[in-house]
């Protein structure tokens, strides 16, 4: 085909590739289910820790168990979906090291799409299931006066969250275009960020709050939407419209990430690392 | 029309200065220091017409891969122009990808955990190959490369030869106009090599696919390439017909003389413009000579003055020798 590929076609191709790869994994049903189950168990530890904490204390920073569970649910669902959609990004650093990354650039797809889809599995399905359970638990226990606004805020928080974590996993890959050392340090922000914003932001000190609002805007996809859903006043005294900041700030973060990715590709193509 | 057109293509890599320690590596990340440049390709120019099979050869580090990476759009050149199938590779990388097939002998483009047929289906989607066309190409490849026995086998269980055949089939599903092959027969047994060469010849004959082939296997060159380009130190040393290369550089036959005992040490002194003692290994002495300037009995006669000759054998020039001598001479020759 002579015509350049469109974004919609790329998405469709990525979907087809994912389904073929899944079919391949499903062939080994026992191993497939076992992986999901073990992933589920690993994440159970997090939940147990949460329950253990609330066994000793009734509230955390004025939030009840169910309210904190809401933060957990949003963060875990967004993180696991974002992770699943960008698993291929984990391969970028080793591919650059081994020279396999050349192959990504001989495909008729955009380099990002190609790198992201270089791997796909449902291993993280366990965490997603976990997140959905927690989110369901939280939503059934907390007292939310539901309105269209609130439903919209929750939906946007989810979508922005997925995009944000996809971008964060991409950021890690971007660094590997320049250096092969210490790229894993970025994990502290990805995994650390998703863990940290599972608790109310006001329990942290100024530095951490600043970091996870204005540098990595993960706080905007759990904390502020949760405040809004629960009709809680912001103990940090930020204006009401802060709840609306999540989506635009995520879009900005993704744009900067996309720019960074293109710089990385440009660097690679001029140095051929 | 030229399928590949290259004008004064140049690629220079900066050499980064390594700084030690955590602080050093962070500093290098944000403010890299360079201690010089390495010119991998120094202004090469050539044309490849549609339907040609060109052998692109040279020692390791000569600039072969760098050239191919520029012609596939993986690398952006430092300067110079090129068009491949009418496109500037590094500007229209995605569009070009649709028109070229790339096989890196050492690496596979198949998915390790999938059956070969699943990998091929995945590539069908990736390259937007219409179903009918896919079935046709798959049937051709299956027949000519004998894929039938292992289409359902996971790629990781394939032998190297099977995998290579799978990779070749994979690179041709989208009917590329140009095929880049990097060491396609490396590590393969004779049967697999022959199958792959036959396949390439058929492909070239029936579809006029242009092939640019890098290889260290001189049989590949002898059997596939009417034209070869030799590159060394980033420059084209020779570009022309294989026969022209042989007659220009490889007129030398070799006479291997076995003496009854070690010959006089100064046997090397018989070397002159027409003949050269290339190796002395105990009683065995190898003499290369120019067939137009001196005859084999004459050479034998001169060698005989240095000891008692027990046996001798004559070898025709081999392309291996030709190319080795070219590298040693390192004089750019164009025809």
What token pair was written down for B12?
């220079």
CB distance from B122 to chain A under 8 Å?
A: yes
* Chain B: closest CA distance from residue A193 (Å): 22
The per-residue pLDDT for A38 is 84
Rounded Cα distance between A79 and B58, Å, is 50
* pLDDT > 70? residue B218: yes
Quickly state the pLDDT bin for B318 (edges 50, 70, 90).
low
Residues 73-112 of B with CB under 8 A from A: 73-76, 90, 93-95, 97-98, 100, 102, 104, 107, 109, 111
Tell me the percentage of chain A whose pLDDT exceeds 70. Answer: 97
Residues in B closer than 8 angstroms to A179, CB to CB, are 25, 28-29
* Mode of pairing for the β-strands spanning B235-241 and B53-57: unpaired
* A181 touches B at CB < 8 Å: yes
CA distance A253 to chain B (A): 20
Nearest residue in B to A179, CA atom: B29
pLDDT at B335: 41
Interface of A with B in 18-37 (CB under 8 A): 20-21, 23-25
**Window 42-101 of A, Cβ < 8 Å to B:** 99-100
**Residues B94, A106: C-beta atoms closer than 8 Å:** no
Q: Do the domain assignments include residue A211?
A: yes
Gap between the Cα atoms of B144 and B201, Å rounded: 11
Which of B51-55, B91-95, B156-160, B265-269 shows the lowest mean pLDDT across its residues?
B265-269
Q: Do A4 and B95 touch (CB under 8 A)?
A: yes
Helices (H) and strands (E) in chain A, counts: 12, 0
pTM, entire model: 0.81
pLDDT in tens, B16-37: 776 666 666 666 666 667 777 8
User: Closest Cα of chain B to A78: distance in Å?
Assistant: 28
Model pLDDT, residue A182: 63
Identify whether the C-beta of residue A192 lies closer than 8 Å to the C-beta of residue A168: no
Nearest chain A Cα distance for residue B132, angstroms: 14
The set of residues, in sequence order, having a beta carbon less than 8 Å from that of A167 and lying 6+ positions away, is A250, A253, A254, A257
Distance in Å, alpha carbon of B285 to nearest chain A alpha carbon: 45
Q: Are strands B53-57 and B100-104 parallel, antiparallel or unpaired?
A: unpaired
Q: Is the pLDDT of residue B70 over 90?
A: yes
Model confidence pLDDT, tens digit, residues A142-154 = 888 889 999 999 9
Q: In chain A, which residues have their Cβ closer than 8 Å to the Cβ of B25?
A: 179, 181-182
Hey, is the C-beta of B134 within 8 angstroms of any chain A C-beta? no
Partner A contacted by B66 (CB < 8 A): yes
Q: How far is A249 from chain B (nearest CA, A)?
A: 25
| B175 vs A contacts (CB less than 8 Å) | none
Q: Does A103 touch chain B (CB under 8 A)?
A: yes
The three-class DSSP label of residue A142 is: coil
pLDDT at B332 over 60: no
Which residue is closest to A4 within chain B, CA to CA?
Answer: B95
Among A225-234, B99-108, B170-179, B247-256, the range of highest mean pLDDT: B170-179
Say whether A108 and B128 touch across the interface (CB within 8 A). yes
C-alpha A127/C-alpha B60 separation (Å) is 48
- Residues in chain B closer than 8 A to A6 (CB atoms): none
| Residue A43 forms part of a structural domain | yes
* Residues facing B288 on adjacent strands: B254, B276
User: What's the gap in Å between the CA of B142 and the closest CA on chain A?
Assistant: 21
Q: Is B270 on the interface with A (CB under 8 A)?
A: no
Q: What number of other Cβ atoms are within 10 A of residue A116's Cβ?
A: 23
Give the model confidence (pLDDT) of B90-110 as tens digits.
Answer: 999 999 999 999 998 778 889
* Number of domains into which chain A is organized: 1
Is a pLDDT exceeding 60 seen at residue A47?
yes
Cβ atoms of A257 and A171 closer than 8 Å: yes
Q: Is B23 on the interface with A (CB under 8 A)?
A: no
Chain B: residue nearest A177 by CA? B29
CB proximity A263 to B under 8 Å: no
Sort out which chain A residues have CB atoms less than 8 A from B63's CB and list them.
none
The answer, for A136 touching chain B at a CB cutoff of 8 Å, is no
Higher pLDDT: B113 or B70? It is B70
Contacts of B27 (CB under 8 A, 6+ apart): B19
CB contact under 8 A, A25 and B75: no
Q: How far apart are the CA of A192 and the nearest CA of chain B, in angstroms? A: 21
Task: Count the Cβ atoms, other than its own, within 10 Å of residue B193.
Answer: 20
Separation in Å, CA B227 to CA A148, A153, B56, B121, B221? 72, 67, 9, 35, 9
Q: Quote the domain boundaries for residue A164.
A: 7-271
A179 at the B interface (CB within 8 A)? Answer: yes
**What pLDDT does B325 receive?**
67
Map out the domains of chain B with their CATH numbers: 50-246 (3.40.50.300), 252-316 (3.30.70)
What is the average per-residue pLDDT within A93-120?
Answer: 88
Tell me whether residue A2 is in a domain: no
Write down the pLDDT at residue B25. 65
| ipTM > 0.85 for the complex | no
The helix/strand/coil state of B103 is strand
Q: Which of A13, A102, A266 sits opposite B126 (nearest CB)?
A: A13
Q: What is the pLDDT of residues A231-270, one digit of tens each?
A: 888 888 888 888 888 999 999 999 999 999 999 999 898 8
- Mean pLDDT computed over every residue of chain A: 86
CA dihedral of B180, B182, B188, B194, whole degrees rounded to 10: 40
Say if A1 falls within a structural domain. Answer: no
Candidates A16, A110, A270; nearest CB to B125: A16
Q: Using a CB-CB distance cutoff of 8 angstroms, which residues of chain B are in contact with residue A266?
A: 76
């Amino acid at each position: 085909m002579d015509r350049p590929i469109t974004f919609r076609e790329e998405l469709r191709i990525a979907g087809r590739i994912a389904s073929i790869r899944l079919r391949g994994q499903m062939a080994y049903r026992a191993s497939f289910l076992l992986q999901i189950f073990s992933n589920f168990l690993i994440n159970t530890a997090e939940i147990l820790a949460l329950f253990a904490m609330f066994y000793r204390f009734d509230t955390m920073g004025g939030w009840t168990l169910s309210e904190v569970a809401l933060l957990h649910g949003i963060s875990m669902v967004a993180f696991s979906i974002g992770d699943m959609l960008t698993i291929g990004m984990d391969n970028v650093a080793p591919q650059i090291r081994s020279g396999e990354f050349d192959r990504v650039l001989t495909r008729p797809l955009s380099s990002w799409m190609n790198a992201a889809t270089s791997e796909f599995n449902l291993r993280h399905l366990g965490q997603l299931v976990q997140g959905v359970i927690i989110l369901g638990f939280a939503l059934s226990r907390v007292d939310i006066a539901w309105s269209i606004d609130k439903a919209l805020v929750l939906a946007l928080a989810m979508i922005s969250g997925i995009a944000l974590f996809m971008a964060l996993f991409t950021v890690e890959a971007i660094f590997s275009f320049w250096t092969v050392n210490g790229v894993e340090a970025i994990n502290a922000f990805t995994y650390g960020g998703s863990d940290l914003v599972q608790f109310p932001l006001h329990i942290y000190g100024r530095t951490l709050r600043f970091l996870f609002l204005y540098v990595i805007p993960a706080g905007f996809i759990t904390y502020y939407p949760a405040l809004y859903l629960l009709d809680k006043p912001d103990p940090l005294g930020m204006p009401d419209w802060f709840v609306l900041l999540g989506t635009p700030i995520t879009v900005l973060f993704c744009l900067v990430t996309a720019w960074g990715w293109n710089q990385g590709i440009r660097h690679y193509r001029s140095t051929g690392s | 029309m030229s399928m590949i057109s290259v004008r004064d293509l140049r690629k220079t890599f900066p050499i980064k200065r390594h700084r030690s320690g955590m602080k050093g590596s962070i500093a290098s990340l944000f403010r890299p220091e360079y201690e010089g440049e390495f010119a991998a390709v120094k202004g090469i120019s050539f044309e490849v017409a549609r339907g040609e099979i060109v052998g692109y050869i040279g020692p390791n580090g000569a600039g072969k891969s760098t050239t191919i990476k520029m012609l596939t759009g993986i690398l952006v050149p430092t300067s110079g122009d090129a068009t491949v199938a009418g496109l500037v590779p590094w500007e229209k990388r995605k569009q070009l990808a649709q028109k070229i097939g790339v096989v890196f002998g050492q690496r596979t483009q198949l998915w390790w955990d999938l059956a070969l047929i699943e990998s091929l289906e995945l590539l069908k989607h990736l390259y937007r190959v219409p179903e009918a066309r896919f079935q046709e190409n798959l049937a051709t490849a299956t027949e000519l490369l004998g894929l039938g026995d292992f289409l359902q086998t996971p790629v990781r269980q394939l032998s190297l030869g099977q995998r290579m055949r799978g990779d070749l089939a994979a690179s041709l599903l989208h009917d590329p106009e140009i095929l880049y092959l990097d060491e396609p027969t490396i590590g393969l047994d004779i049967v697999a090599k022959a199958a792959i060469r036959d396949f390439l010849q058929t492909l070239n004959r029936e579809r006029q696919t242009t092939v640019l082939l890098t290889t260290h296997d001189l049989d590949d060159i002898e059997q596939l390439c009417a034209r070869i380009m030799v590159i060394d130190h980033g420059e084209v040393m020779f570009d022309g017909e294989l026969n022209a290369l042989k007659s220009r550089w490889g007129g030398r036959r070799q006479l291997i003389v076995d003496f009854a005992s070690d010959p006089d040490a100064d046997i090397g002194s018989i070397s002159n413009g027409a003949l050269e003692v290339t190796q002395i290994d105990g009683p065995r002495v190898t003499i290369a000579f120019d067939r137009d300037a001196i005859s084999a009995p004459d050479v034998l006669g001169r060698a005989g003055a240095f000891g008692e000759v027990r046996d001798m054998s004559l070898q025709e020039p081999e392309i291996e020798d030709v190319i080795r001598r070219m590298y040693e001479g390192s004089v750019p020759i164009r025809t």
